[in-house]
Structure 1
């Protein structure tokens, strides 16, 4: 994530490292998608340097989805933890 950070005018931006991440998702990134990703990462850096407000706009678009995902995870854990708590003592859960 540091590679996408705008700190110090994208000093940590390394497109090759970001492209290596796509290797972990072969079903999502075929050869065509990897070529597009290469191009899009270049556009991202150029656009973000040109418009500092772009990152705020992108965050505003992503935040509701990310928040909903986290809330679903906590909701599921609440159900599991309540179920376990009925069978297991608090000492075990706290450990």
Structure 2
């Protein structure tokens, strides 16, 4: 994976995360089948890692353009609060849409 804004990302890591997410969503279906149909559960299993990666890349691009390494010092050693939430921010909108459909 060649992403200038976030050079430490790999295809192996992305595919492994996607695979684990889909497996976890399928296994968790037995606990949430009264709330979510199987297609929504599997769709979330696919979209969460994709939009998490996109949120991370977007946040990394913002930091690169600003010329900073960490987004803050609120959480020392972790790159800042925004670095901890970038994937969740990337996922929030698509997860809401899938949940409401």
Higher relative contact order, chain-length normalized (CA < 8 Å, sep 6+)? 2
TM over 0.5: no
With the length of structure 1 as denominator, give the TM-score of the two structures.
0.40
With the length of structure 2 as denominator, give the TM-score of the two structures.
0.38
Identify, as 1 or 2, the structure richer in helix. Answer: 1
Please identify the structure whose Cα radius of gyration is greater: 1
